[in-house]
Structure 1
């Protein structure tokens, strides 16, 4: 049996990003995917332009819209507008196109894609990982990357990621046409969603609308919200393809590695606990995991702790502050909207966070103080 350097479970943004970087470093990489590609995913598709720095090839072919303006509203009124600087834009991509594009880049570098391949068993035997599928296929590898999303059973089995998972419940609606959404504009709506918010991102000939709640146990009537939200965007409330999902959001610093195995993207619970941004941490974690695994496979480091440590610095420290802001903001959303988003300096700060040029840590202490003391 051929022994791979790395088997990656899942061909989404995080897994395919890791696959490209490892294959580009001349590692023998196999991606296994249980579904046929491409597949429609419940994802808004918003992504900071700063992720371009992670790749030696241009992402321009899959960018559907460059966002230059972000509109915020409270119960469909009381609007705030943030103009994004030209040097730090926010992109919209069609998620299925992004995943497929990255997979193709990985394959061009020599990575292998096996599908359908639904992993049924994952264990170590004589120093190698054994990956068995429901289709009675078996692979062996020196290392494994868990990149199969929020529903992945493997991180818990191997003690990777937070012990207590925190979820955001989301519903995504893909709509035909642009409705009333202006070109180069995205929208965030607060007030309609209990303990959460709604968003609208433009695509070529489509709009992605989403509704999410971020405090555990929150119960919301999605159709009641869409009855109000969709007409404000110029759509009939019954229009669109609906998809529900449960996202693992960041919930404390934790190990993202064990001996020869790492978790990336949603499987690693990296989703932003305040704005539900998942694509940027997915791509960052794929890059960081590949870098650490390459060093480990070549015998330059003794373990994969560098991956956990680098993600803590690059992403986790900011998310720790984002989680604190989220816990206060979504419990007192009207106060948060008035004292946070409506402040004169808020649009510029929000623009910098969305574009990846500023972290929650840069603004957190001031924001939390205002929300707690209502100043």
Structure 2
């Protein structure tokens, strides 16, 4: 019997596999897709993840962002260098995810692509995991199969609330002129925003509807294509993909008997920015620690995983949700009094790098917005 089976070979699942295998545990990762695979994603990765691994990510870093540009309905631009902040990495997700898989395999994890899990069954001493052709058994099970995966539902942990995101990949004949500049547009998309990340082979333009329960697919697609056209890009060879976004919400349970969920399967996305890669990797590390401790006899380790995620990530995401509620309800005012401030780029850069938390800025940010909304308020 294996120590752990992980369903899903994305950043969260493979990070869990890497750290469990490094601790000497037997790990099997199952994924229904062939690897490497395409993943619709902006591809911005916080360099903060480097401290969680003992290998160099340089081979899969396409470029780094040292400057940002904000716009309101493609006008009123603000450009700002990222000072005293580690530059954000730009990656191609197929290469990045594949690189993580390679590192996990080097540590001893077994990864089986093209292996769709069809059902799971609880056993007295672990889990039986069934595929179309095989049956596997392990002491512990981790659901890391993303926002659309079934494992969280099978475990009774899948009560997600979805919004909507999309990515438009626009290839170019030569690298973008400003390869180290990221673009953020706040006025075109109602209840969300658009972000545009340059890569050596073109631009990755993404958008997310982050407020409300009635995301408009047609509006999202139209505004992303409108943005690309106004940005001056030829979209004739572009590819477009939509996907659900599962944003963090309060009081989530992330464990059950001998099982955990991580990454997007755990609805871990930042409600203000939709950042997902860094928190997915972080939950993978915490999950690996919990399973390892449980294998060593700590009967409370899995419950502690839920509490650690709630306290160290979730509590800050509650504040992010509070900011998002105001920001996306009054975006023009938020852009004027928040985004355009000289310090805004540095603050958000530090949040994305883990150097600041929303708790460090929320009260001041909310106060500034309320003063603009309610004349005479102090």
Is TM more than 0.5 here? yes
Report if aligned partners of 2:272, 2:320 keep a CA contact under 8 Å in 1: yes
Is 1:370 the counterpart of 2:365? The answer is no
Q: Which moved more, 1:83-92 or 1:208-217?
A: 83-92
Match of 1:271 in 2: 269
> CA offsets per residue over residues 158-215 of structure 1, 9 Å max, x none?
2336x4x222311111111267651211111011001111111122222111121112
SS at match of 2:195: strand
Match of 1:188 in 2: 184
| Shift in Å, 1:347 | 2.4
Report if aligned partners of 2:80, 2:342 keep a CA contact under 8 Å in 1: no
Distance 1:284 1:46 in 2: 15
Match of 1:257 in 2: 255
| Shift in Å, 1:115 | 2.4
Match of 2:144 in 1: 147
Match of residue 109, structure 2, among 108, 111, 116: 111
Distance 2:232 2:350 in 1: 29
Distance 1:157 1:55 in 2: 31
Distance 1:236 1:64 in 2: 22
SS at match of 2:35: coil
| Shift in Å, 1:354 | 2.6
TM-score (norm 2): 0.93
Aligned ranges 1:205-224 → 2 under 5 Å: 205-215=201-211, 216-219=213-216, 220-224=218-222
SS at match of 2:148: coil
> CA offsets per residue over residues 85-105 of structure 1, 9 Å max, x none?
355221111111111111111
TM-score (norm 1): 0.94
Report if aligned partners of 1:179, 1:233 keep a CA contact under 8 Å in 2: no
| Shift in Å, 1:222 | 3.5
> CA offsets per residue over residues 326-356 of structure 1, 9 Å max, x none?
1111111111111211223322212222332
Is 1:166 the counterpart of 2:161? The answer is yes
Aligned ranges 1:63-142 → 2 under 5 Å: 63-85=61-83, 87-133=85-131, 135-142=132-139
Distance 1:159 1:368 in 2: 36
Where structure 2 has 5 or more consecutive residues not aligned to the other structure, the ranges are: 374-378
* Residues 1:274 and 1:65: Cα distance change in structure 2 (over 3 Å): same
Match of 2:376 in 1: none
Match of 2:44 in 1: 46
Match of 2:193 in 1: 197
Distance 1:181 1:370 in 2: 36
SS at match of 1:221: helix
> CA offsets per residue over residues 55-92 of structure 1, 9 Å max, x none?
01111111111110111110001112232235522111
SS at match of 2:127: strand
Distance 1:211 1:117 in 2: 31
What is the aligned-residue RMSD (CA, Å)? 1.7
> CA offsets per residue over residues 93-144 of structure 1, 9 Å max, x none?
11111111111111111111122211111121232201001x2311000001
Distance 1:239 1:25 in 2: 46
Report if aligned partners of 1:199, 1:209 keep a CA contact under 8 Å in 2: yes
SS at match of 1:82: strand
| Shift in Å, 1:253 | 3.0
Report if aligned partners of 1:259, 1:303 keep a CA contact under 8 Å in 2: no
Distance 1:167 1:223 in 2: 17
Distance 1:239 1:232 in 2: 16
Distance 2:246 2:231 in 1: 29
| Shift in Å, 1:279 | 0.2
SS at match of 2:348: helix
Give aligned pairs, total.
Answer: 370
Distance 1:226 1:89 in 2: 25
Match of 1:230 in 2: 228
Report if aligned partners of 2:85, 2:346 keep a CA contact under 8 Å in 1: no
| Shift in Å, 1:234 | 2.7
Where structure 1 has 5 or more consecutive residues not aligned to the other structure, the ranges are: none
Q: Which moved more, 1:351-360 or 1:216-225?
A: 216-225
